[in-house]
Each structure stands twice: as C-alpha cells, then as structure tokens.
Amino acid sequence: MKKILVTGATGQVGSELKVLAPRYSQLDWVFADRSVLDLSDFKAISKVLYEIQPQIIINCAAYTAVDKAETETELADILNHQAVAVLAQWTTANDCQLLHLSTDYVFDGNSSTPLTEAAATGPINTYGQTKLAGEQACLRENPNAIIIRTSWVYSAFGANFVKTMCKLMQEQEHLNVVNDQIGSPTYAADLAQAIVTIVTHPKWQAGMYHFSNAGEISWYEFVLAIQEIGGFNCQITGIPSADYPTPARRPKYSLLDKSKIATTFGVQVPEYRESLAKCMALIRVNSRN
C-alpha cells in the first residue's frame, strides 16, 4: 500500500483531498497541517518525513496571500521556494515521488491565447516570483517531479473568492468587479480529483501540467455566474483594473491550456459553471448546519 503525504492539509486542495481519500482506500493517506509539518523549519522537514516515510508527497502547502507577499517577501520565498527545494531534495534522496502545486501567476499576462506548459514565464508580482522560483527548484532538485499549475482556486472550505462574493452580495446592493483580467476558475474538488487520477495512474509521467476548469471568463463574468446561481439581488458593475489598484499587480490574461493533463492522464476537465453550481450548493448546505 502506497503511503501518500499531503502537506497543507487544511487548505482548500488539502481539504478536498481529505474528502476524496476514503474512496481510495488502497492508498495510505497522511494529512499534515502546519502543526505536524512546518515548512518554514527546514530541519524539522527532514525529521518529520523520515518518521512518516511517504512514497508520494503531494505538496499543497504555500504562501498564497498575494497582496501581503509584496511586504512579506521573505516568508513567501521560504514557503513557496526554499521549502519546495528541501522537499524535492528529500524525495530524490529517498526514492519518493513529488507532486507540487503552482500557479498561473508565474505568467506576465500578455498572452491572448491559452497558455501551454511551454509558454514563457515572467511573473509580475512577488507571489508569482516565489512560485516560479519554487518550480525551478523543484525540477532542479527532483527532475522526476510533477508540477500542476492552477488558477483562481475556490471551494466550500476556508476563505476564497466565491464565499466572499456570496457574503458581499447578501450584504450590499452594489459591487464593482474587475472585468479586464481573463482566466478560468478552479473548483478545488476538481483539482483534487485530477491529482488522485494522476497518483493512481499506472505510469508516473514527470513534468509540468496545467489544470483549471473549462471556460474563458473575467472576474466580472465569474461574479455574474455566482449571482445567477445564488439568486442574489445585487447590482454588479464591471470596472478596469486601473480603477481597483492592489499592492500586487495581476496578470491580465492567464487562461491555462489543459490539453496535456487530459491526454496524458485521462484527467476530466469539468466546465466552470457546472463545478461552481456544485460548490455553491455545498456552501448553502454548510451555512445551514
């Protein structure tokens, strides 16, 4: 029985993997949050990994506060880059497979066509820079690793864009939402299923992969979909990014091409509205309980 260690176990993707785990009882799942595995303590990483002795590590842990990363640069780099290098070194030395999650923010946003895994990177904020450095360290220290870039992740767990918008549309009569940043959202449950499909696939095929839900939308269009599915009575106005300045710049276009992950592993790529409706139904149920 293969032992799988999931880092960042209380995050959105880690939480969704925990939901899926009982369906894959042929695997021995270990879920580690920061209290078990603190990725900012490099000496402790090796000690904990030797104790657990995983055969696969799924690294869902990351520093994801995009705007705060502009001032907490060192911490973002420790978690998104340096810790990844330590994990990659350990997995290489101990014959362990590594699957690491990255982000669409490694791109500069200047494309106008869906981004393949071979597209040129050029992050425009600190978060993206630290995640790109993590990718590079991962592949340098463990060329047999799998990296999955994803985008706009949301779920019924924790704090995220969908839950925030649901709350705001019930509290406010009018919202302004950026309409000139294009990409596709990712339901963390779909990403978790993609990850499990990969780790249970007969052949481990190392390299870079992209995953998000199908569809090409702006944040504004995403909010309109949330509004429609939720039946919220709130006026939504699309505005340019220039009218909503943030500490960290965002890529204007970061739509990911998912064809490689689909053809290599047979991963399903659900349409974004279908997944959004599933997630919002869960959020409604959870809010009643």
220-269 pLDDT, tens digit each: 999 999 999 999 999 999 999 999 999 999 999 999 999 999 999 999 99
User: Average pLDDT of 52-79?
Assistant: 97
Q: Which residues contact 201 (CB under 8 A, 6 or more apart)?
A: 265, 266
For the chain, domain boundaries: 2-156+186-214+254-270
What does the pLDDT average to over 42-71? 96
How many Å apart are CA 135 and CA 278, to the nearest integer?
31
Is residue 1's pLDDT more than 90?
no
Residue 285 has pLDDT above 90, yes or no: no
Give the residue numbers marked as catalytic: 127
pLDDT per residue as tens digits for the range 99-158: 999 999 999 999 999 999 999 999 999 999 999 999 999 999 999 999 999 999 999 999
Task: Determine contact, residues 96/85, Cβ cutoff 8 Å.
Answer: no
Integer CA distances (angstroms), 168 to 84, 207, 236, 281, in order: 36, 40, 11, 17
| Banded model confidence at residue 85, pLDDT cuts 50, 70, 90 | very high
pLDDT of residue 274: 98
- Tens digit of pLDDT for each residue in 144-201? 999 999 999 999 999 999 999 999 999 999 999 999 999 999 999 999 999 999 999 9
Instruction: Please give the pLDDT value at position 159.
Output: 92
Residue 233 amino acid letter: N
* Averaged pLDDT of the chain: 97
Q: Which residues pair with 235 in a beta bridge?
A: 174
pLDDT at position 272 is: 98
Structure tokens at 278: 């599933």
What's the pTM?
0.97
Quote the pLDDT of residue 286: 85
CATH architecture of 2-156+186-214+254-270: 3-Layer(aba) Sandwich (3.40)
Question: Is the pLDDT assigned to residue 289 strictly greater than 90?
Answer: no
Q: What is the mean pLDDT of residues 17-31?
A: 96
Mean pLDDT for 11-34 is 97
The structure tokens listed for 178 are 């950026």
CA distance 187 to 173: 27
Give the pLDDT of residue 22. Answer: 97
